[in-house]
Amino acid sequence: MQGYDTALRSFALLLGIVAAGNAWAQERPASAEPAWKISLGVGAAYKPDYEGSNDYEVAPLPDINISYRDLVFLRGPSLGANLVTVNGARESDKLQLGPLVRYRFGRDQDDNDALRGLGDVDGSVEAGLFGRYSVGRWSAGLTVVQDVADGHGGALAEASFGYAMPVASDLKASLRASTTWASEDYMESYFGISGSQAARSGRRPFDAGSGFKDVGLSLGLEYAVTDNWSLGGRVGYTRLLGDAADSPIVDEDGSADQFIVGVSLGYRF
């Protein structure tokens, strides 16, 4: 319930930000640089129905990007603040550091037959720190978070490297490589099988320890239809590693190879 209440509060905060941003946008002079930058989109993704599954589903793909003076930002389920910004020689060169809070949806044992008897994993509120460094078209990032809402109860460290470039006057492409380290609590929640879970599910027990959980590569495209409307697309591949790949729900009933394809339509205010 704590994670659910936090999700509701985050949603209420989002509505407040959008309303305030729209009101400010209507009042500001046409020549002024907007303090608020708002981009909202809707779409769909074709993805595994649980982490490690080889069964796929079509799921909603909201695309939310809201920022205020490059200080506070909301990107999807992540709310953060650039408390430290160090600018480089060019406008695109900068180092940013700050706190981050985000919501991670849980897992329902009814999502797939392979999960029956394992119980549900509650949604999590993860809090921590992030850092991002950009040089020209290149970028690198590191995020470290800990669950604070008794969902999976673990910690994650995510590193990424990206490259963005214009393909045409109205088309942009971005390439991103990433890897994730997960603590034992996270791994046990999503990939481990305890003695009681083994008895209920008929599976063999499995202890999942901490370590690097995955590596991934994704390609994104954004096409500007007009000054405000845009079309986006993304294809991604993730390879599960270590105990995540060796878990019975992955090795026996799923796949360590995970793919995602998504499309979205966005509007920039």
Q: Assign residue 206 the CATH number of its domain.
A: 2.40.160.40
Q: Would the pLDDT of 91 be above 80?
A: no
pLDDT in tens, 111-160: 999 999 999 999 999 999 999 999 999 999 999 999 999 899 999 999 99
Domain enclosing residue 86, as ranges? 2-268
Q: Would the pLDDT of 257 be above 90?
A: yes
**pLDDT for position 16:** 46
Number of H helices, E strands in the chain: 5, 14
Task: Return the percentage of the chain with pLDDT > 90, whole number.
Answer: 83
Q: Would the pLDDT of 7 be above 90?
A: no
Q: Which residues contact 102 (CB under 8 A, 6 or more apart)?
A: 76, 77, 78, 79, 125, 126, 145
* Stretch 72-85: mean pLDDT: 95
**pLDDT for position 92:** 77
- Say if residues 98 and 84 touch (Cβ distance below 8 Å): yes
Residue whose pair of structure tokens reads 């999960």 in the numeric block = 115
Within 36-190, strands assigned E span: 36-48, 56-60, 63-68, 72-75, 78-81, 84-87, 94-104, 124-135, 138-147, 155-168, 171-182
**pLDDT for position 10:** 44
Could you tell me the pLDDT band of residue 245, with boundaries at 50, 70 and 90? Answer: very high
Handedness of CA 53, 57, 58, 64 (dihedral sign): negative
pLDDT in tens, 33-67: 789 999 999 999 999 999 999 999 999 988 899 99
**pLDDT for position 32:** 60
Query: Residues 49, 53, 55, CA angle at the centre, nearest 5°?
Result: 65
pTM over 0.75: yes
Tally of structural domains, the chain: 1
pLDDT in tens, 188-221: 999 999 999 999 999 999 999 999 999 999 999 9
3-state secondary structure of 52: coil
